[in-house]
Amino acid sequence: MSDAIRRMKDLPSTHLLGTGTAMCAGCGGLITLHEIYDVLGTKTVFVNAAGCMTLLAVYPFTPFRGSWLYTAMASAPAGAQGVRDALDILIKKGRLAPEEDLTAVALTGDGAAYGMGLSATSAAIDRNLDFLYLCYDNEGYGNTGQQYSPATPHAAQTATSRGSRGYPGYKKDLFTIWAAHRPAYVATVIGAEPLDLAKKIEKAKALKGPRLILALAPCPPGWEFDPQDSIEIGRLAVKTGVWPLKEYVDGKVVHTHVPHPRLPVEKYLEKQGRFRHLFEPTRNEALLKEIQTAVDQYWAEIEHG
């Protein structure tokens, strides 16, 4: 076990990331970013696509102890390419010592990762770009009022899907889309499970090539829950099987945690206002069963091959 993982239980969340942030209380994305940054350290360049996390910066300051670069929502992989190319040129010319090399990190929300930036991301993977892609997935366009995104789960109510059945679409499977490109590494994480997260960041840090860290990011204002419940909701996402913790490496998908016994999915849903319509004024048994069945089918395929 690495020193970084041993420190996870003891480190304050401000160890590497500054305290002068303007984020929502209980932000699951910020919790995850703190934990990831504690492992990655300051030898990083965060190429931050437009979204919630760009609120971290108030020009000319950012809370990052390392480097930070702002880019448009669809352009983070292209920005990471420019950073990586520049670093490689500086090293080749002897203007930057190899031990001073930096890790290029694309930091985006689900709007960019699943939607607007997916084409640029696919091209970056095809070029075998050596970068780490970190997506904080709050399942909607959180910075502009929680409109639905390609990551919004079925039946969730958003600012643009307010009907009695919620969002009619289904969450895109970004993990599988990335894995289909045969990158160096893909992993799902959540801030509520810090040791699983730290081990995966350590593994990703040691690899070269395209690497995705896909983090579920409970969002108090967007999902409508008390900020103090953010960790509990994250743990319920794992315990109910809604958010599988897994990784793709060497051409294989391995689940790093199999919840057993799994809690009913409604234990997770009932904590969030975006699913209140499934319980009030009357229970929508059909939709609840549909959501539970989808989760059950996923785990049946995993457990029975």
pLDDT in tens, 186-234: 999 999 999 999 999 999 999 999 999 999 999 999 999 999 999 999 9
The chain-wide mean pLDDT, for the chain, equals 92
236 within 8 A of 269, measured Cβ to Cβ: no
Q: How far apart are CA 69 and CA 46, in angstroms?
A: 6
The pLDDT of residue 160? 95
pLDDT at 14 over 50: no
Which pLDDT value is given to residue 12? 39
pLDDT 10s digits, 86-106: 999 999 999 999 999 999 999
Q: What percent of the chain has pLDDT over 90?
A: 85
Class of the CATH domain delimited by 3-304: alpha beta
Per-residue model confidence as pLDDT tens digits over 138-178: 999 998 999 999 999 999 999 999 888 999 999 999 999 99
Under 8 Å CB-to-CB from 59, ≥6 apart: which residues?
none
* N-to-C CA span, the chain: 30
